Amino acid sequence: MARTKIAVSLDSSLLERLDRLAAERVVPSRSWAVQEAVRDQMARISRARLARECAKLDPLAERAMADEGLSVDAGDWPAY
């Protein structure tokens, strides 16, 4: 995957903590740590959006749609 350099401004105390983690080899580099933090935040945003959209669904209507036609097809299913 291609990478693009960007400039990021951080509070000095946050940068010191990040540098400490890199120096202690907790993270491989500043870039890696920032990239992972952005990736994690974007995943959280996506999950939150999915949760908000799911909350709009009507469980009864969803069940009715899922059950549509099942009574007709049920006779074709093998017995277990």
Reply yes or no on whether the pLDDT at 6 is more than 80.
yes
Reply yes or no on whether the pLDDT at 70 is more than 70.
no
pLDDT in tens, 52-64: 888 899 988 888 8
pTM for this prediction: 0.61
pLDDT in tens, 7-66: 999 999 999 999 999 999 999 999 999 999 999 999 999 999 888 888 899 988 888 888
What pLDDT was estimated at residue 67? Answer: 80
Tokens of 57: 């669904």
From CA 48, how far away is CA 54, in angstroms rounded? 10
Domain boundaries, the chain: 15-61
Which one, of 42, 18, 17, 44, lies nearest residue 30 by Cα?
18
